[in-house]
Structure 1
Amino acid sequence: MADRPKAAVLGAGEIGTAFCELLTTRFAPIELWEPDPDIGRAARKTGHAGRVSADLAGTVSDATVVVVTTGASERPSVMQDMADHLTSGAVVIISGTGHQRALEDAVRTLPSHASVICATPIAWTRPGGTGASSAKGPSSVRPFADAVAGISPSPSAHPDAVGVVQAILEAGGATAFFADPREFDALATAASVLPTLIAATLVRVVLGETPTTSSPNDFDRAGGIAFAEMTRALEDPAQGIEGDVTIVSDHALRWIEQVIADLQATRQKILDGDTSPIGIDAAASRRRQWITTRKSSPELAILPDLPTPARRRLFF
């Protein structure tokens, strides 16, 4: 279709390439901006973007939809550099850590004619796992299958733009929900950042600080599946998560303090010789309940009333 609108994706990480794959069904051309030449070369091989370039102005120019997926620490400068090149009425999707900070930065740097919406998927299955579609063809492109995606529009975002973003995420297989940016940041920190921080702590404590450190009691060879599963978050950590922690530091600190308090309570029970349950069975039961709820279809979930934005049928 020759008259399809142009879309631009900034950042060739996992989320950026997933958006490229998804947008190919409705937009053309798809242009991907990636300043790192090695990452850019790898992105070209996927074939999802018609053009991969380090030219930010050229990538953004004339794009109806611009998806910003760069790390949170780089995001303000990227938005500032692209501001003068946005087409009038562009839909700017910011996907990544820190919805509250992202919207604050957008107000300072982006023109008022742009509709800015934060939209970040929280994955349920790993890429290529059971949740991802393996079928061929445009109708089967669902890179966010089984994910939930939080949407935090800026107050000035046009309702049609919000509808377009919701439709894009749902076309990718995600269940979209609307959230206050601060509330979403607290949720996303618990879902993504906290497990990574705890996994890193476990590795440092049990295996040692550096790859050359020998772990005590030959744990390098004796460690089992439980430890591997507990530290799986480090297998493919989110791009730029080291810097992103500072963006949600207040939420991270609150969750860490709760974890410490719970561990201290367990420690005290052990010190006191308290033989009452320390809560493992109860936690296991609560986890099973969560798994069941998380796998339930949206129709069965108990959700608050959410705004239903107008849909722009031009794209979806």
Structure 2
Amino acid sequence: MQINQHAKLSVAPMMDWTDRHCRFLHRQLSRHGLLYTEMVTAPALVRGGAMHLLDHHEDEHPVALQLGGSDPVELAHAARLGAQAGYDEINLNCGCPSDRVQSGTFGAVLMRDAGVVADCVAAMRTAVDVPVTVKCRIGVDEQDPETVLPEFLARIVAAGCERVTIHARKAWLQGLSPKENRDIPPLDYDLVMRMKGLFPNLHISINGGVETLDQALDLLESGLDGVMIGRAAYHQPTDILAQADRRVFGVGEDSSAEGAVYAMLPYIEAHLSAGGRLHQITRHMLGLFAGRPGARGWRRTLSEGATQPGAGPELVLAALARVTPLEEPAKAV
């Protein structure tokens, strides 16, 4: 399966959330959805030598590295490091609205300068053989998305970008916090749909406000090439990912939360043996049983126990025992 096919359903890059432990968990639920790293800044890699930020498990593939930056030379260098580390795609962040990102002149503020973004894309494409993609907003602040977005897309397409993920909201860099920017600006799915008509050869994924797998399937059926899901995939990973391989990609069988838990146990053992702590992994597992009887007991057992010295896989199994098993379907006689 080509990476553009994997991009039919992806889990959004989310700071402090989609670390390597989170991605390994998500991969136990879906073998085919595309996973993204947290944003890694190009200066951290190139100037800071923080190569540990590129660490990932071979089972995470297909997995994309999201970079933050605005200097074409530095981004090209960082993209090369990412490709050498084995990432299947390099993504440029043009959508994050945080103050820290703005002060570094990258993220959503780049929507104001499509020329710089185009130069960055061109430099990164020259540096690596893997796909270079962009994640953006429909505009920022006082910009008119109807004008800004098509111009932005035209510039990055001319620079060689063949796939883009559009968060279908403006980002207000003045007046709204990063958290408010995820909810308050209204969604404009229709605008993103129109972009697909204007750029038929550009692979366009939509992001923002998608809360269920059914909603993602509806968006795919409407003509979009992909759907990226963020918070819902993190807080209810089983609901979003367990049926994705069958329903979105047409291959494989459904997975289960219980199966994911058992698959995580050897990974947890290896992490603890390397000096890690249990809560570094289990904090991403709290939503596995969302909506199931016993989910609260699962969460409480892990939340209260995983930070304790010596906590290990036995705590995870104790938490699992708090969850009511699903009823087996009746067998035909």
TM-score (norm 1): 0.32
Q: What is the TM-score with the length of structure 2 in the denominator?
A: 0.31
Larger radius of gyration: 1
